[in-house]
Amino acid sequence: MQNKQDEKVKDRISRFESLCREKGIPVTVQRRVILQTLLQRQDHPTADQIFEDVRKQIPDISRTTVYRVLEALVGLAVIRRVHSMGNAVRYDGNIHRHHHLVCRECGRMADWESPELNNLPMPKRKALGFHIDDYTIQFMGICAECRRQLEHEG
């Protein structure tokens, strides 16, 4: 069981290394250990939590490096941010069930309402200890303005 998980992690890491070689990006100890640390956790840690973990293996690593490497890994699509908006809390005056279109680039959000999405099968109360009573879907993509900008850059 544990071995199976370990193998998966090893596999992901070696695929990451191939990807780096392909793109001519240096494979550093820090990157390998940061990726490994995230992959070994079953939760969804913050950069700082990863920093604390990684420190056990690389005591002199800098917090800055952890932040930079994580964003680099996101850029390579090796890992994901859990939610792709900026780092400020956003508020919504609409309290009935509705969904959002979110731009990966700039965090811009638009509402998305669709009756067929409003009666999905919910995890039953008690799922994993959670009492779930509502849900909201984030549709992810690129907004018109960012698309235009990306095209202009090349």
Partner DNA sequence: CTCCGTGCAAAAGGTTTGCACTGGT
Partner DNA sequence: ACCAGTGCAAACCTTTTGCACGGAG
- In DSSP terms, 149 is beta-bridged to none
Report the residue from 60, 75, 119, 134 that binds its own copies according to the rule CB under 8 A. Answer: 134
Which two structure tokens, joined as six digits, stand for 119? Answer: 């009666």
Cβ–Cβ under 8 Å, residues 35 and 80 = no
115 binds, among its own copies, DNA, none (CB under 5 to 8 A by kind): none
Of its own copies, DNA, none, which one does residue 147 interact with (CB within 5 to 8 Å by kind)? Answer: its own copies
Written as six digits, the tokens of 115 are 């009756």
d(CA 33, CA 11): 14
Distance, in Å, from the CA atom of 120 to the CA atom of 98, rounded to the nearest integer, reads: 12
- Please report, as residue ranges, which positions from 20 to 79 form the binding site for its own copies (by CB under 8 A): 35, 38-39, 41-48, 50, 70, 74, 77-79
> Which residues bind to its own copies, rule: CB under 8 A?
12, 35, 38-39, 41-48, 50, 70, 74, 77-83, 85-95, 100-101, 103, 108-112, 114, 116-117, 120-123, 127-145, 147
